[in-house]
Structure 1
Amino acid sequence: MRLEDSGNGREVSTAHPPIDPNRPSAARIYDAYLGGTHNFDADRVVAARAVELLPETPQIARANRAFLRRAVRYATGRGIRQFLDLGSGIPTEHNVHEVAQELAPDARVVYVDLDPTAVLYGRHLLGEDPRTAVVHGDLQHPAAILAEPEVRNLLDLTRPVAVLMVAVLHFLPDGPAMDSALAAYRDAAAPGSVLAVSHLTSSGDPAQMERVTDLYNRAGTPLVPRDAAQVARFFEGWRLVEPGLVFGPQWRPDGEPVSEPARYLTLAGVGER
Structure 2
Amino acid sequence: MPKAEPTLHSRVALVTGASRGIGRAIAVRLAAHGAAVVVASSPRSVAQAQQVCAAIADAGGRAAFVSADLADPAARARLAAESLAAFGHIDILVNNAAGISAYAPPSRIDAAARRAMFELDFHAPVDLAQALLPAMRERAWGRVVNIGSDTVRQPPIPYPGPAKQVHALALYGCAKAALERYTQALAAELHGSGVCASLVSPHKIARSESAEAVVRQLQDIHPDWVEPVEMMAEAAYALIGTGLNGWCGSSRALLQLLQQPLRALDGARVLGDALTLDRDLAR
Taking structure 2 as the reference length, the TM-score comes to: 0.47
Taking structure 1 as the reference length, the TM-score comes to: 0.49
- The structure with the largest helix share of the pair is 2
